[in-house]
Amino acid sequence: MDQRGDEAKLRQIADELTDRLTEALPSWLEDIALQRVEEGGLPVDETLRRRIGDCARVVCEELSPRVRSVITADVDLAAGSPLAVLRDGLGPMDVLLDELGLPAPARDRMATEIFPGDTYDLGPASFADIHRDLRDVGIAWGAARAHVHRQRHGEGGVAAAGAVPGRPPFDRVLASVVDVEGWMTDDQARLLYDRAAELEPGGRMVEIGSFRGRSIIVVARAADAGVEIVAIDPHGGGDRGPREIAPDGTRGDEDHAVFMGNLVDAGVIDRVSHVRKMSDDAHGDVAGGVDMLYIDGAHRFGPARADIVAWGNRVRPGGTMLIHDSFSSIGVTLALVTTTFFGRSWRYVGRARSMAEFRRAELDPKARIVNGLRQVGQVPWFVRNVIIKVLITLKLTPLTRVLGHRGSDWPY
């Protein structure tokens, strides 16, 4: 299909998504609010049902035109995410549930950090949360937008109209990923931003494990326009997050669509080349050496070690390797023990929580011992994290407070 045909197709998909979404919204909001009421142990009678139903209708009447304008906006406007518009607009339902005396449910740390205002966990994380039939049209919409954007600007071409010229300050970049799901804390984002900002034009950054784009958006917005940025993620729904190891095609396709949409929204779709493959199959898709490598893919020992060895070998002398879930995940930590702890090639610089930083260097025997001992020094923190995970798995989450942990999410 030619460009005009593709743009018309995008408009058609956007209209279809809007029509079906706005139709599904009121009953979804009513159902999720009633579900929270039941989970909170409040009795549900007709009066309460009517109040919640009325509130859902009013909220959705207000939200529908706003959602429509975001979904149908031109791709170059970087108008934002419709799911973010929805999450931001659910306040009146939160107020009603609060008035009804509903206690706030326990929320995991990621949800609390990313969506602090969503007290009752009402906000949808995907179109399929609103209605399962919206999944495919939502995926088609994300893919069509990314396609049209690439057609207009080409791979790595002109910066998107929504992109900020020059380097936006860190706070603005952080604010732009607040709605993008992921397991990257603010101080970890800061570390990524700083290292990406230091890359020279002509340099190359590779990320292994991109999920929905939270970390790669930070890198793409911080790095000079002359830096090549590659995101490797098979989006197969496996090795995805804490306790989400088995592959799941449906989940993976949804991650892929949301990832593409998030990159468009952030104005960086033309800055990032996505390789939809497992990291060990992707070597041929990246030419030459790497100046900054971020490893956050499969966290099991075998693949984590293979990423450090094979992709780490491609990092140029003086280059940076950052590894998420270091001294937190058992697989990643064992991979470090067998590679960086007493090896010759990586100087341990420090860490932002579980994001460890290494510099490629040739270490002499004395430097290797010092380097190894510095990493051994992180083992008590690792033991603490393993204990927290065991307590959470045994449903003894309150005991993790003794170790300074908050929430029911695994430490990262």
Least CB distance to ligand SAM at residue 343 (A) = 22
Cα 201 to chain center, whole Å? 26
Nearer to ligand SAM, 149 or 214 (CB): 214
Least CB distance to ligand SAM at residue 143 (A) = 17
Nearer to ligand SAM, 26 or 142 (CB): 142
Nearer to ligand SAM, 302 or 377 (CB): 302
| HSE (side-chain half, CA atoms, 13 Å) at 217 | 29
Residue 366: other Cβ atoms inside 10 A: 8
Dihedrals phi, psi of 296, to nearest 5 degrees: -150, 45
Nearer to ligand SAM, 204 or 240 (CB): 240
Stretch that binds ligand SAM, among 6-14, 204-212, 346-354, 369-377 (CB under 6 A): 204-212
Report the residue number whose CB is nearest to ligand SAM: 182
208 binds ligand SAM (CB under 6 A): yes
C-alpha to C-alpha distance for 96 and 70, rounded to whole angstroms:
27
* Nearest one of 411, 203, 172, 182 to 320, comparing CA atoms: 203
Least CB distance to ligand SAM at residue 131 (A) = 24
Residue 51: other Cβ atoms inside 10 A: 14
* Angle between helices 186-197 and 214-222 in degrees, nearest 10: 40
C-alpha to C-alpha distance for 6 and 19, rounded to whole angstroms:
20
Nearer to ligand SAM, 68 or 274 (CB): 274
- Selected from 30, 265, 296, 357, the binder of ligand SAM by CB under 6 A is 296
Beta-carbon contacts of residue 280 (< 8 Å; ≥ 6 apart): 303, 306, 307, 310
Nearer to ligand SAM, 122 or 322 (CB): 322
211 binds ligand SAM (CB under 6 A): yes
Counting residues that bind ligand SAM (by CB under 6 A) gives 25
**3-class secondary-structure state, position 120:** coil
Q: Binding pattern to ligand SAM, positions 226-265, x when CB under 6 A?
A: ------xxxxx--xxx-------------x----------
* Nearest one of 398, 373, 403, 407 to 386, comparing CA atoms: 403
Cβ–Cβ under 8 Å, residues 82 and 265: no
Nearer to ligand SAM, 21 or 110 (CB): 110
411 binds ligand SAM (CB under 6 A): no
- Selected from 210, 345, 375, 385, the binder of ligand SAM by CB under 6 A is 210
* Nearest one of 214, 258, 215, 253 to 234, comparing CA atoms: 253
Residue 41: other Cβ atoms inside 10 A: 8
Nearer to ligand SAM, 44 or 310 (CB): 310
DSSP string covering 283-318: GGGS-S-EEEEEE-S--SHHHHHHIIIIIGGGEEEE
303 binds ligand SAM (CB under 6 A): yes
- Selected from 87, 135, 214, 305, the binder of ligand SAM by CB under 6 A is 214
278 binds ligand SAM (CB under 6 A): yes
298 binds ligand SAM (CB under 6 A): yes
Q: Binding pattern to ligand SAM, positions 151-190, x when CB under 6 A?
A: -------------------------------xxx------
By the criterion CB under 6 A, which residues form the site for ligand SAM? 182-184, 208-212, 214-215, 232-236, 239-241, 255, 278-279, 296-298, 303
